Amino acid sequence: MTQGNGSRSTTSYEEVRCMLMRGGTSKGAYFLADELPADPADRDDLLLRVMGSPDPAQIDGLGGAHPLTSKVGVISVSEDPEADVDYLFLQVVVDRPEVSDRQNCGNILAGVGPFAVERGLVTAGDTETTVRIRMVNTAELAVATFPTPGGRVEYTGSAEISGVPGTAAAVEIEFPQGDSPLLPTGNVRDTVAGVEVTCVDNGMPTVLIPATALKVTGYEEPRDLEEDVALADRLHEIRLEAGLLMGLGDVERATVPKLSLLAAPRDGGAVTTRTFIPVRCHTSIGVLGAASVAAGLRLPGNVGEDVARLPATGDRTRVEHPTGFLDVDVSVDPGEGGTPPVARRTAVVRTARKIFDGTVFPRAADSAPTSAQGR
């Protein structure tokens, strides 16, 4: 992760091939790994200039002035025999000269398979294509299947996802059982900064918190929650302490763990959520964050038991969020006799769309600001 001013790139990279895609409810720039600098510091410096950071408006780059639209996927052929491609996710911080690789992004993941076909890393099938993806950030696997009629990626279709207008082709993503513990602290409940929480990691380190424990309802608009100074202070305190308990170390400048406030469902789902990334309130919810919420709710004794309304049968869990819902199929073995719980299978449906494919011209290295410039 590049922090502070970082090192300035010694390679000019006056232009670089780039594909801008919407993946799920996020938007990001996708690159081939071998078309970016090999040195991580030089790569991150270039990406800051491509996205227009640090600047709260990101006016001089591709970024959209929000963490959900300041994301990058770096793709390459995988050397792992169980994967076709490697996917490195990078979060480009909007208002600071930082690039973080400390988390995955399941939304940007939705575009990885189509991008791999578009760039010739994977040969498309005649009707649909399945791409095995190694998520470099966590060394875990995902399998994406999407339509490719006639050997070309099809982006139009009838699938709808909350938070995205219109319809698009479905991208089915399945996450096999990973090696990371589902309960990073070993407990289904922990007391963190005086609040009972459930710390869970089903692809995304996430802290589940009953909304009422923080004196909010969990139904507020994201902007109203962001403007609550007292809430922000409590969330910051909880996140720092939970990060240590979850084995993440000092998370002061990290984007994980995510914090999800839980409330009773309002629209027939299992639970209502408000998720922080880490200080901005998500207008929906991330794929892997939702997968972690869904898995956590299926663990006996979790902090959401009093508000969640899980279906009587089946593995599907509908996670409500500010702009709709996200359905997650998750099968959890709660463990017994000292055996830790595991998520046997997790799957979601997302959509993705190619917005442009071409050349991006990064801001010149010698004109890059060293800190965010207010407006």
Q: Read off the pLDDT of each residue in 207-221 and give the average, rounded to a whole number.
A: 98
**Residue 10 confidence (pLDDT) above 60:** no
Average pLDDT, the chain: 93
Paired with 44 in beta bridges are none
| Residue tagged 């964050």 (tokens) | 289
Q: Is the pLDDT of residue 8 over 50?
A: no
Encode the chain in three state secondary structure: CECCCCCCCCCCCCCEEEEEEEECCEEEEEEEHHHCCCCHHHHHHHHHHHHCCCCCCCCCCCCCCCHHHCEEEEEEECCCCCCCEEEEEEEECCCCCCEECCCCCHHHHCCHHHHHHHCCCCCCCCCEEEEEEEECCCCEEEEEEEECHHHCCCCCCCECCCCCCCCECEEEEEEECCCCCCCCCCCCCEEECCEEEEEEECCCEEEEEEHHHHCCCCCCCHHHHHCCHHHHHHHHHHHHHHHHHCCCCCCCCCCCCEEEEEECCCCCCCEEEEEECCCCECCCCCHHHHHHHHHHHCCCCCCCCCCCCCCCCCCEEEEEECCEEEEEEEEEECCCCCCCCEEEEEEEEEEEEEEEEEEECCCCHHHCCCCCCCC
CA neighbor of 144 nearest in space, from 168, 108, 180: 108
In this predicted structure, the answer to whether residue 128 has a pLDDT above a threshold of 90 is: yes
The 10s digit of each residue's pLDDT in 194-212 is 999 999 999 999 999 999 9
Q: Are 227 and 278 in contact (CB under 8 A)?
A: no
pLDDT 10s digits, 257-269? 999 999 999 999 9
| Per-residue confidence (pLDDT) for residue 346, from 0 to 100 | 96
Residue recorded with tokens 């409810």: 25
Does 12 or 320 have the greater pLDDT score? 320
Question: What percentage of the chain carries pLDDT values higher than 90?
Answer: 89
Cis peptide before 184 (omega within 30 of 0): no
Q: How much is the pTM?
A: 0.82
Share of the chain above pLDDT 70, in %: 95
Task: Report pLDDT digits (tens) over 109-124.
Answer: 999 999 999 999 999 9
The full set of domains in the chain, from first to last, is 16-177+352-367 (3.10.310.10), 190-339 (3.10.310.10)
Whether the predicted pLDDT of 43 surpasses 50: yes
Banded pLDDT at 371 (limits 50, 70, 90): low
